[in-house]
Chains A and B, each alone.
Chain A
Amino acid sequence: MAFIEAHGLVKTYSPKGAPVVRALDGLDLEVPQGTVTALLGPNGAGKTTTVKVLTTLISPDEGSATIDGVDVLADPQAIRRMIGASGQYAAVDENLTGLENLMMVGRLYHLGAKVARQRATELIELFDLVESQNRPVKGYSGGMRRRIDLAGALVIKPPVLFLDEPTTGLDPRSRLGLWDVIETLVSDGTTVLLTTQYLEEADRLADSISVIDNGRVIAKGTADELKASVGGQRVALTVVDEADGDAVRNLLASHGTGEPIVTGGRTWVVPVDDGPAALAAIMAAASTAGIALHDAGMRRPTLDDVFLQLTGHVAEATDETTESAA
């Protein structure tokens, strides 16, 4: 039996005047102990809903879930004593200082005033917030709030940690900093379920990735396994002028074995059969057509390619910080 198990989770919402949303549609999940599993999917895929079920915030319409053999639905208080959870919105009290926030969480885990204070001080040091520990959180930057929120999830050194889009909305520097912290945490055997819409994040942090779309797991494996399942080589072209996009698409379509996709506006990727030969042919054709190239090369499939292949659409990292109805 895996440490975290969920079977056949179904959760529907009926927004007023809108069709019923099946946020979870028979989702199955198994997270072995001491591993990091990422739920990867776009907004509205059902990632947050899954975490909400497992952290006792909502009850599913159907299905079952256990953590370390404890039934999430039957004994939520027992689950709450063994989990730490950190949401995509930093759930901290604006008017309390960083230290007070963490002490409050410790008190509410019933650690006692002394241990709660001790642990809060430890976490403040771990998260490099000593200088701001006595300032109200409302004056903190986004990255600092996330760190306090994440620290709140770690107060009891929980055996299970849920991180719901831990770096959504953060600038790249804060994101890298938070990744370092999470990597340190997971190296000591904590079982982690994290959700993300960033392929790069799943690739970097997770032992195992479950790709979610429309409330179901549509693929799972390590990042390498998922990439291998897509197979083949790819040719990537980056054009100088975005206006050349259509010409590049047609050119790639005629040389590749699949549909060319564009990432980041100017970079086009297409799966090919014989990598080096195809690259040479494509570059010659681009030169003949007078398309100025900034970069050209072969590359292995990325998780972006995996996602496209599995879902038929590109995984878009949007600026939305909440997952609507999920």
Chain B
Amino acid sequence: MSATTTSSAASRTLQPVPGTAVSRFLSDGWVTTWRNLMKIIRVPEILLFSLIQPIMFVLLFTFVFGAAIEIPGDGYESFLMAGIFAQTVVFGSTYSGAAMAQDLKDGIIDRFRTLPMSGAAVLVGRTNGDLVINGLSMIVMMLTGLAVGWRVNSSPLEFLAGVALLLLFAYAFSWVMAFLGMAVKSPEIINNASFLILFPLTFISNAFVPSERLPEPLRIFAEWNPVSSLVQSARELFGNVPPGTPVGDAWTAQNPIATVLIGVVVLLVVFVPLSIRTFATLSR
């Protein structure tokens, strides 16, 4: 090994700026988040369809089912909105699955994995991207809801808590989907598979009809379904619980907000480390 070439090759190499592990993690997380936000800007169709879908759901459900489903109090619009919010943000979290699978397929993940960056930051950036899309969807849905007669009957603080809870749950769910995306590795399969999971999860719940009217096995599933707890929490925090609604016997039905928070913690504790480990050992 010749000493001259060692020094010339090593000295011209660009060196990283000084930084701590934490500052590098934050920088990597920001760069990958930025990358996912640029995708939203450069491919506006993604945002367009993720916004049109909730508007369509609001209009379809209120006008098609609204006439047939009788809800005491402010009527079906008021009852429905929390359900639509929950369904939309949970569906919104599936982008992480499809996007991780697509990035794997494109080889950009291999590029990231040869760089001295934090692997976890790639996943943070990805799930942050979902969070932004979901935040924008929430705004559009709320405006649509207001237009069809939905009203918030609670304090601003409760309202914000409701929005935060919806986004937090969806964020935790993004980590589940990111993990599945890496496990399945095919954007097409993960898209179809997530519909198979998410349709039952959101429909066998109290999102669109009061769950006490469901047949017994479905009612039990609905009561223990975390999406029900999310919807119930949002209804309570937005002041949209119809008067005289019976509360289920299950602990989850009686303590919806605590249930959602526990669910979020469990999902994050399980899937954040699992996803990070899977990312580090990906091999194609």
A189 an interface residue at 8 Å Cβ cutoff? yes
B252 an interface residue at 8 Å Cβ cutoff? no
Task: Tell me which residues across on chain B come within 8 A of A87, comparing CB atoms.
Answer: 107, 110-111
Task: Establish whether residues A189 and B8, one from each chain, have CB atoms under 8 Å apart when the complex forms.
Answer: yes
Task: Tell me which residues across on chain B come within 8 A of A2, comparing CB atoms.
Answer: 1
Task: Tell me which residues across on chain B come within 8 A of A285, comparing CB atoms.
Answer: none
Q: Tell me how far the C-beta of B179 lies from the nearest C-beta in chain A, rounded to whole angstroms.
A: 20
Q: Tell me how far the C-beta of A66 lies from the nearest C-beta in chain B, rounded to whole angstroms.
A: 12
**Chain A interface extent, by class:** 35 or more
Q: Given A34-B2, A189-B5, does the pair A83, B27 have CB atoms closer than 8 Å?
A: no
Docked complex: B106-128 residues within 8 A CB-CB of A: 106-108, 110-117
Task: Tell me which residues across on chain B come within 8 A of A282, comparing CB atoms.
Answer: none
Task: Establish whether residues B114 and A112, one from each chain, have CB atoms under 8 Å apart when the complex forms.
Answer: no
B197 an interface residue at 8 Å Cβ cutoff? no
Among the listed A33, A85, A159, which residue makes an inter-chain contact with B114, where contact means beta carbons less than 8 Å apart?
A: A85
Task: Tell me which residues across on chain B come within 8 A of A57, comparing CB atoms.
Answer: 110, 113-114, 283
Task: Tell me which residues across on chain A come within 8 A of B43, comparing CB atoms.
Answer: 95
Task: Tell me which residues across on chain B come within 8 A of A261, comparing CB atoms.
Answer: none
Produce 1/0 per residue, B1-40, CB < 8 A to A. Answer: 1100110111011101101000010011001001100110
Residue of B5, B106, B116 contacting most chain A CB atoms (<10 Å): B116
Task: Establish whether residues A3 and B112, one from each chain, have CB atoms under 8 Å apart when the complex forms.
Answer: no
Task: Establish whether residues B9 and A190, one from each chain, have CB atoms under 8 Å apart when the complex forms.
Answer: yes
Docked pose: A201 CA to B283 CA in angstroms: 28
Produce 1/0 per residue, A54-92, CB < 8 A to B. Answer: 011110000000000000000001001111010101111
Task: Establish whether residues A136 and B8, one from each chain, have CB atoms under 8 Å apart when the complex forms.
Answer: no
Docked pose: A3 CA to B5 CA in angstroms: 11
B42 an interface residue at 8 Å Cβ cutoff? yes
Q: Given A57-B283, A107-B31, A189-B9, does the pair A33, B108 have CB atoms closer than 8 Å?
A: no
Task: Establish whether residues B19 and A110, one from each chain, have CB atoms under 8 Å apart when the complex forms.
Answer: yes
**Chain B interface extent, by class:** 35 or more
Task: Tell me which residues across on chain B come within 8 A of A157, comparing CB atoms.
Answer: 12-14
Q: Which residue of B lies closest to A190 (CB)?
A: B9
A104 an interface residue at 8 Å Cβ cutoff? yes
Task: Tell me which residues across on chain B come within 8 A of A81, comparing CB atoms.
Answer: 16, 116
Task: Establish whether residues B13 and A108, one from each chain, have CB atoms under 8 Å apart when the complex forms.
Answer: no
Q: Tell me how far the C-beta of B186 lies from the nearest C-beta in chain A, rounded to whole angstroms.
A: 15
Q: Tell me how far the C-beta of A99 lies from the nearest C-beta in chain B, rounded to whole angstroms.
A: 12
Q: Tell me how far the C-beta of B140 lies from the nearest C-beta in chain A, rounded to whole angstroms.
A: 22
Q: Given A91-B106, A93-B108, does the pair A80, B9 have CB atoms closer than 8 Å?
A: no
A212 an interface residue at 8 Å Cβ cutoff? no
Docked pose: A312 CA to B113 CA in angstroms: 37
Task: Establish whether residues B1 and A89, one from each chain, have CB atoms under 8 Å apart when the complex forms.
Answer: no
Task: Tell me which residues across on chain A come within 8 A of B28, comparing CB atoms.
Answer: 108
Task: Establish whether residues B9 and A191, one from each chain, have CB atoms under 8 Å apart when the complex forms.
Answer: yes
Q: Given A34-B5, A189-B5, A191-B9, does the pair A108, B17 have CB atoms closer than 8 Å?
A: no
Task: Establish whether residues A56 and B111, one from each chain, have CB atoms under 8 Å apart when the complex forms.
Answer: no
Task: Tell me which residues across on chain A come within 8 A of B24, comparing CB atoms.
Answer: 110
A52 an interface residue at 8 Å Cβ cutoff? yes
Docked pose: A105 CA to B283 CA in angstroms: 21
Q: Tell me how far the C-beta of A223 lies from the nearest C-beta in chain B, rounded to whole angstroms.
A: 23
Task: Establish whether residues A159 and B9, one from each chain, have CB atoms under 8 Å apart when the complex forms.
Answer: yes
A1 an interface residue at 8 Å Cβ cutoff? yes
Task: Tell me which residues across on chain A come within 8 A of B13, comparing CB atoms.
Answer: 82, 156-159
Q: Given A108-B31, A110-B24, does the pair A94, B10 have CB atoms closer than 8 Å?
A: no
Task: Tell me which residues across on chain A come within 8 A of B111, comparing CB atoms.
Answer: 85, 87, 91-92, 105, 152
Among the listed B1, B2, B14, B35, which residue makes an inter-chain contact with A115, where contact means beta carbons less than 8 Å apart?
A: B14
Task: Establish whether residues B14 and A91, one from each chain, have CB atoms under 8 Å apart when the complex forms.
Answer: no
Task: Tell me which residues across on chain A come within 8 A of B27, comparing CB atoms.
Answer: 107, 110
A278 an interface residue at 8 Å Cβ cutoff? no
Produce 1/0 per residue, B214-241, CB < 8 A to A. Answer: 0000000000000000000000000000
Task: Establish whether residues A83 and B114, one from each chain, have CB atoms under 8 Å apart when the complex forms.
Answer: yes
Task: Tell me which residues across on chain A come within 8 A of B110, comparing CB atoms.
Answer: 57, 87, 91
Q: Tell me how far the C-beta of A323 lies from the nearest C-beta in chain B, rounded to whole angstroms.
A: 11
Task: Tell me which residues across on chain A come within 8 A of B12, comparing CB atoms.
Answer: 157
Given contacts A157-B12, A159-B9, 7 further A-B contacts (CB under 8 A): A80-B114, A83-B114, A90-B107, A94-B106, A109-B117, A110-B24, A110-B27
A-B contact pairs, 11 of them (CB 8 A): A3-B1, A33-B2, A90-B107, A93-B108, A94-B106, A95-B38, A107-B27, A109-B16, A111-B14, A119-B14, A158-B13
5 A-B pairs with the lowest CB-CB distances in the bound complex, closest first: A110-B16, A91-B111, A91-B107, A159-B9, A80-B116
